[in-house]
Structure formats: C-alpha cells, structure tokens
Amino acid sequence: MENDRITIRLPQIDLRQIDLLIRLGEFTTRSEVVRHAVKEYIENHTNRILAKADKYKYIENHTNRILAKADKYKKIQELEAAAAAIEPYMKK
C-alpha cells in the first residue's frame, strides 16, 4: 500500500511521549506511532458511530412498534364507536 506524506505539528510533550515509546521499543519511528494512532482512532471512532447507529435503529424500531400498537388501539376505539352508533338500529 502506498503512503502519502503529510506534515503535522504536535505539542512538545506529545513528541516526548512518542520518543519514549520508540526508546522503549514499542515503535521504530515517529511515523509508525502516528500511523498506529490514526488507525486506532479511526477504528474506535467508527465503532462508536456504528454503535450509535444501532442505538438509533433500535429506538426507531421500538417507536414504530409502539405507533403500530397505538394505531391498532385507535382502530379498535373507532370500531367500538361505530358499533355503539349502529347497535340501536339493529334488529334484536
């Protein structure tokens, strides 16, 4: 995979931490640290967005079920009102 070059500016404290990670053998270069951090951030952020979307889908489905029940209940009420209006005229 081909990499593009970018330039970023970081606070000195962040660079010191990056250099310590390299010194401890966790990474070999600053670029490797930044690539890893960006990849991890994108993965975590994507997962948060997907979780949020799932939550909204659940809420939407739940709301639709409630509305369907309410619509059914309204139809029952309308049918009961119609029956009450018609019953006096029905032969017994």
Rounded CA separation 34/12 (Å)? 15
| Domain-located, residue 75 | yes
Domain count, the chain: 1
Q: How far is CA 19 from the centre of its chain?
A: 35
pLDDT tens for the chain, residues 1 to 92: 788 999 999 999 999 999 999 999 999 999 999 999 999 999 999 999 999 999 999 899 999 888 888 888 888 888 888 888 888 877 76
Please report whether residue 23 resides in a domain: yes
CA distance 41 to 22: 19
Predicted pLDDT of residue 15: 97
- Domain presence at residue 4: no
| 1 inside domain | no
Domain that holds residue 56: 12-89
User: pTM above 0.75?
Assistant: no
Would residue 81 count as lying in a domain? yes
Within a domain: residue 56?
A: yes
**37/31 Cα distance (integer angstroms):** 10
